[in-house]
A and B are shown apart, each in its own frame.
Chain A
Amino acid sequence: MTVTSYYSNLPEAEYDPIVKIMSQYASDPSPSKIDLTIGVYKAENGDSYLFPSVAKAKKWLHANDPGHNYTNMAGIPEFTAGAREVIFGKKSAIQGKIASLQTISGTGACHMASLFLGECGLNNYYIGTPFWSNYQPMLEHAGAKVNHFRHYNPETREVDFESTVRALNEAPKDSVFLFQACCHNPTGADYSKKQWTQIADIMKERELFPFFDIAYQGFSSGDKDEDAWAIRHFYEKGLNLLACQSFSKNMGLYSERAGCLHVVVQEGVENPDTLDRVQGMLVTFFRMECSFGPAFGARIAAALMNKPELKEEWDQDVAQITERLQNLRKSVLQKLTAMDTPGNWDHVIKQNGLFWYTGLNEEQVSRITKQEHVYMTFAGRVNIASLNESNIDQFCRSLDKIVRETK
């Protein structure tokens, strides 16, 4: 073996396209440039936003410093218990049917979930298109097979329920369906309660496994309980399922990597041994990747979930953010309507959460970026939170102009 052959066949990996757009934005000298790409909430003045409840929790934690010792491999108990209650509600959280593992935020939760399901022999996945770009590599990393159906219909600009139902009816038994519980990324188009009910019925009947990702709980309705409706319904229906939870967005804890994986084991009450096995397997897998989840973010999150006065403030923070997002959506619609922009733009208020899937085609996106200095993802996804009083008029005028030009 020659010494220079170590990584000779190693190709250079391609970067996520969003990284490219962000670097284009950074080098654009235009003073009126607008960045609507990244999925991070921004304050009204365009700055990064620290939740007031989080700021208080940080001070409290500093004054009551628990230090930096090793925690538990399954996670900080107050964190995992609180996280469970946020998704499943008080009553279900303590029924003894849920195994929980603190993870490296949402990505880490999805990653551990796919490893765990692989161990259970569940390797055949279905995801609705379009989807968050990390899902496919994440599932393939765990050795899973990924099939697609259409989540979103670009013509109606709503969920493609027919395609969903067809996939549910055609999927082989024991297939895994990866759903986003609310605020679908990137389309903002969510299933209705009636549709979720039908999905649950088919999944139960056809023995399919629901894999929920919930990254924006609270940003759809402003009420976290309401936004967890789908998961709670599946739980009540007696389905085994898992839920991958992140506090990146709804606490603004992005870089602290606070997240949790919950596995619902319906037979856990009659068979605590099975629940223990599931819990033990989660910890074993985690031990071989991370050993422990990071403490700081989980402690902040635990304070927000368990201390009544902080919890109330956190609830208000989430409600206010959602209200601001909804007002921005209404404002966009009003402005486009006032300009009589060609086309129907109702979907801006029908879609939920941080993102608006504008429906602009590739050429329109390319033009709005080059001519108007408005940056969004290639698929035309806009981060609503990056709009504010100072740029919303310019954004709407640019959109109107490009739509007319390319009509």
Chain B
Amino acid sequence: MLSRTVQKNLFKRSNAVSSVRFISAFSEIPLAPPDKILGIAEAYNKDSNPQKINLGVGAYRDDTGRPIIFPSVKKAEEKLLTAETEKEYTGIIGNKNFQNIIKNFIFNNSGKDVNGEKLIKDGRIVSSQTISGTGSLRVIADFLNRFYNTKHILVPKPTWANHIAVFNDAGITSEFYSYYDTSVNGLDFENLKSSLQNAQEGSIVLLHACCHNPTGMDLTAEQWDEVLAIVQEKSFYPLVDMAYQGFASGDPYKDISLIRRLNELVVAGNIPSYALCQSFAKNMGLYGERTGSISIVTESQEASTRIESQLKKLIRPMYSSPPIHGSKIVEQIFADESLFQSWLSDLNSVVGRLNSIRTKFYEKLDKTNYNWEHLNKQRGMFVYTGLTKEQVIELREKYSVYATEDGRFSISGINESNVDYLADAVNKVIAK
């Protein structure tokens, strides 16, 4: 044994010279901060309390706390299983059919938006399939950094943490505009407008199309009009992120009034160009399949040709082409009217459960010393409770209720069997 150890040490020493530089190269790498949401999941998994609740997850769970496969998605996969005979590459920006689905479904509102229809007909929309929402944000961030004249983005405070990380990493500086006032648990609309008015002209402005993440608080149609007036006045470049289409109203067509309004302004010549990032992660439950898109509404058909060629040039060295299992599911669903209708109804029932459990949770909360009215105004997968960091920690330590420290609850973690326990725990923490 001894001789083996010596040999092992000798072997190590003989490598020491060449390894030194790389040891230091790797050692200089700082430890990346752990992802908060993953940290919560880990702590939750270790907790032995049978009544523990995980409110950190950003994915849908059914009333038994389990993830679901949309029945329409399962049917589409059954069709694929028999129809698919190869897996050869799709285009760098995905195939035409997928791109047309995005254009027609979202921009043309399936034939109900005259302005969107005109933009499509005039060749003014360039769409590319991407690696879900994150990938679409990354592609547009790199694209704008290369070609747009202002490398500065305005994002709502608060926003999804990865928005800032993606843009900063792509070389675009970010700045908050006011959005939500935690002291009153509501939209801070006056400051929202004034902070936009005071921001740098020509900036990129990030707008959440619906179900604002993390607050769940959206703008009304009238408020959007006021914001879009500032966008025009300040020549901002609108970048719309739409991760939860359908989760506000249960109807994907109703949730995209911002797109309708933007199309109208573009056709009228008041806004020259805007971009949309979207994904089917939430509204088809395709999370892990990474299915999304980036679309750029351009100034002309000729500009579209140039922009499309640059998108391909940008994406090719990053990942060559997108994964197709998820996009084929989307194509199957849109190709078959009855499957499409069952998807709409699947989505509607998912959102229905979230809304009914939201109401139930609200009903059970103690309102004597705390105003919970904001819960009824918020939409989507989250409740932005307004609880302080200390209260969130107390919930975790005393009651095994796991949420992010900004007080965001993922409603999909709440169900008939734990809503009483949860409301009770929150009431106790508030009452203190």
* B318 sits at the interface (CB 8 A): yes
Whether the pair B317, A107 counts as a contact (CB closer than 8 A) is: yes
**Residue pair A238, B290 in contact (C-beta under 8 Å):** no
Question: A174 to B324, Cβ gap below 8 A?
Answer: no
The answer to whether B318 touches A69, judged by C-beta atoms less than 8 angstroms apart, is: no
Q: How far is the CB of A399 from chain B (nearest CB, A)?
A: 26
Which residues of the other chain, A, contact B133 by a CB distance below 8 angstroms? Answer: 291
Asked if A37 CB lies within 8 Å of chain B CBs, one says no
Beta-carbon contact of A141 and B26 below 8 Å: no
Compute how far the CA of A237 lies from the CA of B22 in the bound complex, rounded to whole angstroms: 14
Chain A residue at minimal CB-CB distance from B311: A13
For window 84-133 of A, CB contacts with B under 8 Å fall at: 103-108, 111, 119-122
B147 to chain A, nearest CB (A): 5
| Residue contact A108 to B162, C-beta cutoff 8 Å | no
Measured CA separation A267–B290 after assembly (Å): 34
B interface bracket (residues with beta carbon within 8 Å of A): 35 or more
Residues of A within 8 A of B27 (CB): 271, 274, 277
Q: Determine whether the beta carbon of B201 is less than 8 Å from that of A296.
A: no
User: Quick check: A291 and B69 within 8 Å, CB to CB?
Assistant: no
Asked if A252 contacts B21 (CB within 8 A), the reply is: no
Tell me if B325 counts as interface (CB < 8 A to partner A).
yes
CA–CA, A266 and B14, complex, Å:
13
Q: Which residue of B lies closest to A238 (CB)?
A: B15
Q: Does A73 touch B at the CB level, under 8 Å?
A: yes
| In the bound complex, CA of A266 to CA of B11 (Å) | 12
Q: Name the one of B31, B78, B299, B317 contacting A6, with C-beta atoms under 8 angstroms.
A: B299
| Surface stretch bound by B, among A224-232, A280-288, A311-319 | A280-288
Contact A289 B320 (CB under 8 A): no
Query: Complex: how many Å from CA A3 to CA B238?
Result: 13
Instruction: For chain B, residues 224 to 272, give those with C-beta under 8 angstroms from any C-beta of chain A.
Output: 235, 237, 271-272
Complex interface: chain B residues within 8 A of A296 (CB): 289, 323, 325-326
**CA–CA, A342 to B165, complex, Å?**
61
What is the chain B residue whose CB lies nearest that of A239? Answer: B18
CA distance A158 to B304 in the complex (A): 45
Contacts of A9 in B (CB 8 A): 147
Q: Which residues on B sit within 8 Å (CB–CB) of A138?
A: 317
Residue from the list A47, A104, A288, A294 in contact with B325, Cβ < 8 A = A294
Would you call B39 an interface residue if the criterion is a C-beta within 8 Å of the partner chain's C-beta atoms?
A: no
Question: In whole angstroms, what is the CA distance A287 to B12 when docked?
Answer: 35
For residue A31, CB closer than 8 A to chain B, the reply is: no
Q: Which of B82-90, B117-125, B187-195, B417-425 contacts A (4 or more CB under 8 A)?
A: B82-90
Please give the distance in Å from B309's CB to the nearest CB on chain A: 4
Q: Tell me whether B323 and A289 are in contact (CB under 8 A).
A: no
Given the known inter-chain contacts A255-B89, A295-B288, please indicate yes or no for A174 contacting B21, CB distance below 8 A: yes
Instruction: List which B73-115 residues lie within 8 A (CB) of chain A.
Output: 73-74, 77-78, 81, 84-90
Which residue from chain A places its CB closest to the CB of B329 in the assembled complex?
A68
Q: Are B26 and A70 interface neighbours, CB within 8 A?
A: no
What is the CB-to-nearest-CB distance from B205 to chain A, in angstroms, rounded to a whole number? 14
A130 to B31, CA, bound (A): 38
C-alpha gap A67/B66 in the complex (Å): 11
Are B323 and A256 in contact, CB atoms less than 8 angstroms apart?
yes
Asked if B59 and A289 sit within 8 Å, CB to CB, the answer is: no
Residue numbers in A under 8 Å from B237 (CB-CB): 6
In the bound complex, do residue A256 and residue B85 qualify as a contact, i.e. CB atoms below 8 Å apart?
A: no
Asked if A13 contacts B18 (CB within 8 A), the reply is no
Is A339 in contact with chain B by the CB < 8 A criterion?
no
B389 sits at the interface (CB 8 A) = no
Q: Which of B26, B58, B307 contacts A10 (CB 8 A)?
A: B307
B32-A120 in contact (CB<8A): no
Q: A272 at the A/B interface (Cβ < 8 Å)?
A: no
Pick the residue among A3, A7, A278, A291 that contacts B307 (CB under 8 A). A7
Chain A, Cβ-Cβ closest to B312: A13
A405 within 8 A of B: no
**Which residues from chain B contact A283 at a C-beta distance below 8 Å?**
32
Residues of B within 8 A of A265 (CB): 26
A78 within 8 A of B: no
Q: Does A212 contact B (CB under 8 A)?
A: no
Which chain A positions have C-beta within 8 A of B287? 68-70, 292
Q: Taking A68-B286, A138-B317, A255-B321 as contacts, is the C-beta distance between A3 and B18 under 8 angstroms?
A: no
Q: Cβ of A23 < 8 Å from any Cβ of B?
A: no
Least distance between B325 CB and chain A CB atoms (Å): 4
CB within 8 Å of B: which of A323-380?
Answer: none
Considering the complex, give the chain A residue whose CB is closest to the CB of B22: A240
Q: Please pick, from B32, B147, B312, the residue contacting A280 in the complex, using a CB distance under 8 A.
A: B32
Stretch of A58-66, A189-197, A302-310 lying at the B interface:
A58-66
Which residue from A62, A238, A288, A291 sits with its C-beta under 8 Å from B19?
A238
Q: What is the interface of chain B, defined by CB distance below 8 A to chain A? A: 11-12, 14-15, 17-19, 21-23, 25-32, 34-35, 38, 58-59, 67-69, 73-74, 77-78, 81, 84-90, 131-135, 138, 147-149, 162, 165-166, 169-170, 201-202, 235, 237, 271-273, 285-290, 298-299, 303, 305-307, 309-310, 312-313, 316-326
18 pairs, A vs B, C-beta closer than 8 Å: A1-B201, A6-B148, A6-B299, A10-B307, A15-B312, A16-B316, A65-B77, A104-B131, A122-B25, A138-B317, A204-B15, A209-B22, A238-B12, A238-B19, A290-B131, A290-B290, A295-B290, A295-B325
Interface contacts beyond A134-B316, A277-B27: sample of 16 additional A-B pairs, CB < 8 Å, sorted by A? A6-B273, A54-B87, A62-B78, A68-B73, A104-B319, A120-B26, A207-B18, A238-B15, A253-B87, A271-B27, A280-B29, A287-B134, A287-B162, A291-B131, A294-B323, A296-B325
